[in-house]
A and B are shown apart, each in its own frame.
Chain A
Amino acid sequence: MRPQDILLPVASGLCCKPGGFHIDPIRPVERAVITHGHSDHARAGHGAVLATQETLDMMRLRYGENFAGSTQAIRYGEEIWLGETSVKFHPAGHVLGSAQVAVTCKDTCIVASGDYKDAPDPTCTPFELVPCDVFITEATFGLPVFRHGDAADEVKKLLASVALFPERAHLVGAYSLGKAQRVIALLRQAGYDAPIYLHGAMENITHYYQSRGIALGELRPVKGVKKAALAGTITLAPPSATSDIWTRRFPDPVTAFASGWMRVRARARQRGIELPLVISDHADWDGLTATIAATGAGEIWVTHGQEDALVHWCQSKGLRAKPLDLVGYGDEEETETPLADEAEA
């Protein structure tokens, strides 16, 4: 069977005709299979949603009880038949509950990996390599300049800065879902046991992580804390909050940002970041290319990000590769909307 007869990009997302569903649709559809809880992948208003329990919980937290007509939870490794296809979920290592979706129809297996990373992360199940015929990969950091290094070293940088500037507050911009909790967990791994403060917009999702058994130590809302008491502390906040009025409650804050984009100086400077921390929940260039090679797939579809470079690399390795025209997915940086959060912060 030709792969494009199994999965095809259409206006509402990646459509599986023989299975009668869409993967991460950007418009309301009858039946949606969702890889993970970030808002550009998990939207409200679908008829039926199939996802991991964690992803479903996150959608409920974000959109309320009635975010979909009906829901069905699926475990990693579990197989479900939809129409003529078998659908199986595998850990993607991106955030808590994130999954790659393996769709098999007759003799052809396509893996839609959503967003993924092959780097260790104490807050989610590690990425699992799934052999397949066609591998659909993201390309958020699909340029050879993006090599993320060890996240633990970046956290050391943060702690060294806290030690050097004990009278200043450290403000770490991090996406509310996933990155923030990972940074907290990394800080705990590095031996930092002081209370960590949270912007209001992060509280719900972080508490959800804790409820799933992820140890994050003592967390406190930053709201209502006196300015002087914030000297020498670390606060996690959505990236856009770190350059706004909200920051005036902190004593001479050091603005950090935990993101793979921080690898490029101009990006950090543009945002006025003083302490860039290269910590990413997406695979870096080496991770992308190693994963692509290891899947054994002969054909690679490249989506959201720097498709050109990755397609070129695949072709230079003798793989069939093409960019997949899917619109509506960005990295979380662009999609996070803190304005609504500011009120509750």
Chain B
Amino acid sequence: MNRFAELLDRLAYEPGRNNKLRLITGYFREVADPDRGYALAALTGALSFKHAKPALIRDLIASRTDPVLFGLSYDYVGDLSETVALMWPKAAMAAHNNPPPPTLTEVVTTLRTLGKTELPKQLERWLDELDETGRWALLKLVTGALRIGISARLAKTAAAALGNKDPHEVELMWPGLAPPYLDLFAWLEGRGDKPVNRDPAPFRPVMLAHAIEDTDFAPLDPADYIAEWKWDGIRVQAVAGRDEHGHITARLYSRTGEDITGSFPDLVPALRLPGAIDGELLVLREGRVQSFNVLQQRLNRKVVSPKLIKEFPIHLRAYDLLGDDENDLRELPFAERRERLETFIGKLGDPRIDLSPTVPFASWEALTAARADPAGAGAGDDADAVEGVMLKRRDAPYLPGRPKGQWWKWKRDPHIIDAVLMYAQRGHGKRSSYYSDYTFGVWTAGAGGDELVPVGKAYFGFTDEELLQIDRFVRRHTTEKFGPVRHVVHEGDKGLVLEVAFEGLQRSPRHKSGVAMRFPRISRLRWDKPPREADRLETLEKMLKAEAAELDA
């Protein structure tokens, strides 16, 4: 347990993805079965036991420490598990007779079967046996609050790296595996056969598109491609299959393979035919696709209430078929898969699942026109939820990852405004010596004339060279410092104008300006522009009104 705690501790501070991977892979290499398997389960959220309540932890510490000292300590540290882990007094027993600290395996297997009344005594014993970091990790684990910035995908990738395997392979077999993953590690270390996924509804690694640039079109022949709308929703894979008893199992996966079925129980009954659909999750009201802002209300919900289901009816818009009953279609050319998909959706005949239409075009000019006006090119009322077009080669098989030249995404042009840099903050990790997080604002009428009001924050979009330039500007034009934040000069004729690109706007009572941007990034530095010529809040408000008007129409 102490070694696992050490890993968690280190991961909690490490900002870089590759370094996190190396830390986890290093742990898998160093630690034996079954401990490392339970660690993988903990990192992927695959452990299941009843979590301890914070009140129980409070009771434990209260019985061992002075309440005043605990209060002062908790105030200082600000985190219950950490406070308890740090101030837990060692039991006053002979040092030579101490039992060894528990292994992760012991903790996990004991917690699975432990009765509620036995838990406090057991926790106390473990807390006595572990060191500070071990106690911290234990408390985080038993309270179910293991937040260390690791995705399940990252942990699986680290496991794959142990055997130099493609993470997709691990993803593919994952639903058929169970902690402590002895078969997985045996295969990764070349000691055993590749585990077979016997899951009736497994995830298939997804195929992704490249963003197309103007210069990419020249060698492409429009006749080789099929175009579809690019929907502003959530990419999902909806899989149904028969288990050994012939019953249908249906699952919904995110594009990274996370099982999100539990969040969308209203879609599950629609998946009654064995097959694997690649499509977009959307919210439809009266047959019309709602904006991403609306869809967002249904995402990341632990509890899905009937009210939520009624107000935000979920819908699947299908654009590919990877499996049809027992048949794996991924080797077939896209054009053939598309035909199979049309038949499949027709057979399903469910209003919650429909086909994503293709966009007919004979030339790139025609497609350019369609992309500029989706409403007039067939998207009709749903045009608001279109964020561009997808181009897929007719003869492309379904390949995992982002293969070159097969699929292209051609997004609508983003919205652009000129805003003024107001505050800058240091970045993390590699960027910790740079002011790389920027708050920018636009003009609005204030009590004493025009003033800037912050409308957003961005920390990417610029090149490394531009980052150096902005960093230098920030350091030379700081007017005040508040902790890590620098107040950068922003007056009518003094300051830096940033061209900010963003995907959409939302009303936001939490921001002083009343608006919040989606996906803002710095697209250009406007050294040439005096701040007074930057955009005004009214411009953004007009955009909001235009969106609202379209929604109401």
Which residue of the partner chain, among A248, A274, A312, A313, contacts B14 with CB atoms under 8 Å? Answer: A274
Which residue of the partner chain, among A143, A273, A276, contacts B73 with CB atoms under 8 Å? Answer: A143
Asked if B82 CB lies within 8 Å of chain A CBs, one says yes
Check A312 against B26 for contact (C-beta < 8 Å).
Answer: no
Asked if B86 CB lies within 8 Å of chain A CBs, one says yes
Check A243 against B79 for contact (C-beta < 8 Å).
Answer: no
Check A306 against B72 for contact (C-beta < 8 Å).
Answer: yes
Nearest chain B CB to A59's CB is how many angstroms away? 31
The segment from B351-359, B427-435, B444-452, B504-512 that touches chain A is B427-435
Nearest chain A CB to B421's CB is how many angstroms away? 19
Which residue of the partner chain, among A164, A245, A255, A276, contacts B22 with CB atoms under 8 Å? Answer: A164
Check B132 against A272 for contact (C-beta < 8 Å).
Answer: no
Check A247 against B73 for contact (C-beta < 8 Å).
Answer: no
Check B13 against A269 for contact (C-beta < 8 Å).
Answer: yes
Nearest chain B CB to A74's CB is how many angstroms away? 38
Check A309 against B22 for contact (C-beta < 8 Å).
Answer: no
Check A147 against B433 for contact (C-beta < 8 Å).
Answer: no
CA distance A272 to B434 in the complex (A): 12
Asked if B68 CB lies within 8 Å of chain A CBs, one says yes
Check A264 against B72 for contact (C-beta < 8 Å).
Answer: no
Check B132 against A147 for contact (C-beta < 8 Å).
Answer: yes
Chain A residue contacts of B19, Cβ below 8 A? 165
Which residue of the partner chain, among B16, B72, B83, B132, contacts A309 with CB atoms under 8 Å? Answer: B72
Asked if A149 CB lies within 8 Å of chain B CBs, one says yes
Asked if A79 CB lies within 8 Å of chain B CBs, one says no
Chain B residue contacts of A312, Cβ below 8 A? 66, 68-69, 72
Query: Given contacts A265-B12, A275-B13, is CB(A243)–CB(B68) below 8 Å?
Result: no
Which residue of the partner chain, among A264, A268, A274, contacts B77 with CB atoms under 8 Å? Answer: A264
Which residue of the partner chain, among B12, B69, B132, B433, contacts A248 with CB atoms under 8 Å? Answer: B433
From B433, which residue of chain A is reached at the shortest CB distance?
Answer: A247
Specify which of B10, B426, B428 lies most central, judged by the most chain A CB atoms within 10 Å of its CB.
Answer: B10
Asked if B78 CB lies within 8 Å of chain A CBs, one says yes
Check A266 against B69 for contact (C-beta < 8 Å).
Answer: no
Which B residues between 124 and 155 are near A, CB-CB below 8 angstroms? 131-132
Which B residues between 64 and 112 are near A, CB-CB below 8 angstroms? 65-66, 68-69, 72-73, 76-79, 82-83, 86-87, 89
Chain A residue contacts of B13, Cβ below 8 A? 268-269, 273-276
Interface residues in B, total, Cβ within 8 A: 33
Interface residues in A, total, Cβ within 8 A: 34
Check A243 against B73 for contact (C-beta < 8 Å).
Answer: no
Main secondary structure of the interface of B (DSSP, over half): helix
Check A145 against B66 for contact (C-beta < 8 Å).
Answer: no
Asked if B485 CB lies within 8 Å of chain A CBs, one says no
Asked if A252 CB lies within 8 Å of chain B CBs, one says yes
Asked if B260 CB lies within 8 Å of chain A CBs, one says no
Asked if B345 CB lies within 8 Å of chain A CBs, one says no
CA distance A264 to B22 in the complex (A): 25
Nearest chain A CB to B69's CB is how many angstroms away? 5
CA distance A308 to B78 in the complex (A): 17
Which A residues between 292 and 345 are near B, CB-CB below 8 angstroms? 306, 308-309, 312-313, 316
Asked if B15 CB lies within 8 Å of chain A CBs, one says yes
Asked if B173 CB lies within 8 Å of chain A CBs, one says no
From B483, which residue of chain A is reached at the shortest CB distance?
Answer: A270
Check A265 against B68 for contact (C-beta < 8 Å).
Answer: no
Chain B residue contacts of A309, Cβ below 8 A? 68-69, 72-73
Which residue of the partner chain, among B12, B26, B86, contacts A145 with CB atoms under 8 Å? Answer: B86
Asked if B23 CB lies within 8 Å of chain A CBs, one says yes
Chain B residue contacts of A316, Cβ below 8 A? 66
Check B69 against A313 for contact (C-beta < 8 Å).
Answer: yes
Chain A residue contacts of B16, Cβ below 8 A? 252
Chain A residue contacts of B22, Cβ below 8 A? 164-165
Nearest chain A CB to B127's CB is how many angstroms away? 14
Nearest chain B CB to A272's CB is how many angstroms away? 5
Check A243 against B433 for contact (C-beta < 8 Å).
Answer: yes
Check A145 against B65 for contact (C-beta < 8 Å).
Answer: no
Check B76 against A164 for contact (C-beta < 8 Å).
Answer: no
Asked if A20 CB lies within 8 Å of chain B CBs, one says no
CA distance A209 to B263 in the complex (A): 63
Check B76 against A264 for contact (C-beta < 8 Å).
Answer: yes
Check B73 against A145 for contact (C-beta < 8 Å).
Answer: yes
Asked if A78 CB lies within 8 Å of chain B CBs, one says no
Asked if A263 CB lies within 8 Å of chain B CBs, one says yes
Query: Given contacts A144-B65, A273-B13, A275-B13, is CB(A247)–CB(B87) below 8 Å?
Result: no
Give 24 CB contacts A-B under 8 Å.
A144-B69, A144-B73, A144-B86, A145-B77, A145-B86, A145-B87, A146-B86, A147-B86, A165-B22, A244-B433, A247-B433, A263-B86, A263-B132, A264-B86, A269-B13, A273-B13, A274-B13, A274-B14, A274-B429, A309-B69, A309-B73, A312-B66, A312-B68, A316-B66
Q: A145-B82, A145-B87, A245-B433 are in contact. List 6 more A-B contacts (CB 8 A).
A: A143-B72, A252-B16, A264-B77, A272-B426, A274-B13, A316-B66
Leading 3 A-B pairs by shortest Cβ distance: A145-B86, A144-B87, A272-B432
